[in-house]
Each structure stands twice: as structure tokens, then as C-alpha cells.
Amino acid sequence: MDIAGYFAEISRLFALGQTTEHSFRPALAKLFDSIVAGVSVINEPKGVKVGRPDFVFIREAGKGAVLTVGHCEAKDIGLGIDPKGMNDFNKAQHNRYVKALPNLVYTNGLDFRFYKNGELAREISIGDFLPGLPAKPDQFAVLTN
């Protein structure tokens, strides 16, 4: 699924008025699966010492071994992912994950924050949380890269 297809799917679901953060995960998993060859995306993986991020990205390392290459925490569309505006629970979770997970994607389905070794490396928004979820198609290729 390319980013335009992903955006169309989350927009369709959102318009139905019955969604939660879990409603968007199948589309997000398909998007992640399509972006990087050789990396498997697992929704609801086993927990790590600091909690249970929503996704883990793994790559086969040979001889039956797998290498964790990253994690993703997915929040509901419309929920801010900037820690400055988070409630105490989400802020504590965010801070734990950023500190402990060396390669982390934090997203609300429209906004994506990429953390590398505890530092914000990149922030990309592919749409606005307004009526109709207007897209930012100029950012689709940026997100893919």
C-alpha cells in the first residue's frame, strides 16, 4: 500500500465516525510493510522492558535469528504526539519509549515523529486533523524516504 492508498483508507475509516486508534492499525501495518523490503511488521508484539509499543519491525539475521530494527507507537488520529501537549500518562509513556528504544516511530496516523537514540530526527505530517482530513500529498514521498 502506498501512502496515497494508506491516506485514502484512514480517511474512509475516519469519516465513518466509529474509529479508535486500533481501527487504523491494519492500514498502518500495510503501509509499513510496503515501504521497506525485508522488514517484517508485527502489530501487538511481545512487550519490552519499558512497555508494549504497538509495532515492532524485525529483519531476519540468518540461522533463525531475528534483529529488531525499530518500534512504533501509534496513537489515535487527532491526538497530539508532541510531548508538550500530552497528558501525564501519554507523556510518561512517550518519554520511556524515546529513552529506551533506539529507533522509534511515534505517530497519530497523520503526523510521524522519528526518534534515533533518544533524539527527534525528523517530523513529517501527511495530513491535517480538520474536517475531511485534508492531505498534504507533497509530504508523501518525504515520508516514504
| Amino acid in the structure at residue 43 | N
Distance CA 29, CA 45 (A): 12
Of 96, 37, 88, give the one whose Cα is nearest residue 71.
96
Digit-coded pLDDT (tens) for 19-32: 999 999 999 999 99
Cα(110)–Cα(108) distance, integer angstroms: 6
pLDDT of 131 above 70:
no
Q: What is the pTM of this model?
A: 0.89
pLDDT tens digits along 100-122 = 999 999 999 999 999 999 999 99
Backbone angles phi, psi at 25, to 5 degrees: -65, -40
